[in-house]
Structures are given as structure tokens and as C-alpha cells.
Amino acid sequence: MTDQISQVISNGELTAGYWRIVFRAPDIAAAAVPGQFVHVQIPGLKDRILRRPFSISSVDKTAGTVTVVFKVVGLGTEELTKVPVGADMPVLGPLGNGYAMREDKTPILVTGGYGSASTLFLAECSAKKGIVLMGARTEQDLILVEEYKALGFDVRVATNDGSCGHKGFVTELLDQALKDTPDGVIYACGPKPMLYALGKLAIPTGVETQLSLDQHMCCGVGACFACVIKMNDPESPDGFRYARTCSEGPVFDATEVYYE
């Protein structure tokens, strides 16, 4: 993990409400693995002490660059869209544990909303190309579809309103994907309710399932406990313990998670 001043290479709108920023940070690019994140001090923000966490979407180790795809959801991300090319931007990373890559198995990526920004890095690094089950509220919230296709992945879409692909939840596509991929391993990133529903569906199948459980974060390095989540703990009277998603996660095996 390093804390370095990166230089912004490009920053532009990917599609309505979603942006892609590329910055030069050679040490982070060299060390990063899929599923990790960076903690960015956004220039222009008044509360400059508070950094914002972003999943790493892509890395070019040769060029020493890191790509982040983000949704504009508040003041921090709004300010991030305004950072000009050439600006210096302090970035801490790579942080978190990342996915445990199973190179002998075929990846089934399950994403919700901008969770597909996180698993793109995994798709890039995976020798085997598999299936992406991509869920969104509506067609406008589907991002990076062409990037996954260009990498050789079979993209299957579900939207809540039926504006593209299957009408309903992305988890409803899991059964067929598992039938089509007998040697599959599931990697997932998205909203917590989606990930919990997925975990409950996947555990009885016996297929290894890794969930990236991003929570609201503050310090990003395990010091403040702002990001805790409940994990199974048979030795605890309550049956669970708290784990910090920033330092012990954000990726957890589905069987470790305490489902409420």
C-alpha cells in the first residue's frame, strides 16, 4: 500500500451519470489485484481530510495507470468529475484483500448497478472467459457492457423495469448460468440486498461464491470501524462477529457472511 500523488490522465463521462477517471500511480498499478480499491483525496472538496473509496476498474501496469469508473451520487463524486487532466490527486492504495482468483475455474460475474466497474478488472485478469450476469434498475444504468464483450465474456442482462434483457432481478439468471458453467466460480459486486440474496441462493449449490461487500467507509485502513459487517462466528453467543470491510474485505466468501 502506498500513498502517492497521482496525476490525472483523463476524466470524462462514460454514460449519463457515470464517469471514468484515469490517473497515473505506478506503485498502485504495480501492486493492485482485482477487487481492491483506492482511497482518493478529491481536489476541490472542502472536507479534504475525508477520502472517498473507489473500486479499481482497470490497471495498466506498463503505463502505470489506474482506472476508476464511478457513479455521481453526491458532493464528493460531483467534485471528482471536475478534476482536470494534469491535476495532482493524492491516492492511497491498493486497499482491501481482493478476490481469490481461481484460474482453473470459469468465472461467473454477478453485478448490480456500478458493481460491474469493480469486476471489470477481474475480467481483464482472468485467463478463462465466462459469463457476466449484469443487473440494473433500467437500461441507462447498464455500464461497461461492450468492454466485457470485448474481453470475450457472455453478457446476460436483467433490468428491474424490463427495459433491457430479463425483466426482474439479476439473481434470477443464476440458475441457467450455473447449468451452462459446470466448472464455475462466482464473483459478485453490487448492492448489499442483491449480494445477500445471491449468497443465500449460491451456498446450497456448493459453488464457491465471493461477495465484494462495500460498505460506507471513513478511514479505509481498519482504524475507525465505520465499515463493519456481520460475519458468522459460532463461538459468539450471538452467532456473529463484526468484520471491517476495508481491511478484512471487501471480498468475503458467501459462507462466512451472517445473513440477517
Rounded CA separation 197/203 (Å): 10
Q: Is 185 helix (H, G, I), strand (E, B) or coil?
A: strand
Q: What angle do CA 134, 61, 63 make, to 5 degrees?
A: 110
Q: Which is nearer to ligand FES, 225 or 259 (CB)?
A: 225
DSSP 77-143: HHHHHTPPTT-EEEEEEEES------TTSEEEEEEEGGGHHHHHHHHHH-SS--EEEEEESSGGG--
Residue 85: CB minimum distance to ligand FES, A: 30
For ligand FES, give the closer residue by CB, 129 or 230. Answer: 230
Per the DSSP assignment, residues forming a β-bridge with 211 are 188, 252
Pairing of strands 88-95, 65-71: unpaired
Contact 57, 151 (CB under 8 A): no
Distance in Å, CB of 230 to ligand FES, minimum: 14
CA end-to-end distance (rounded Å), the chain = 33
State in angstroms the smallest separation of the CB of 47 from ligand FES: 15
Cβ at position 226, least distance to ligand FES in Å: 5
The nearest distance, CB 60 to ligand FES, in angstroms, is 28
Q: Can you give the binding site for ligand FES, defined by CB under 6 A?
A: 217-220, 222-227, 244, 246
Whichever of 24 and 39 has its CB closer to ligand FES, that residue is 39
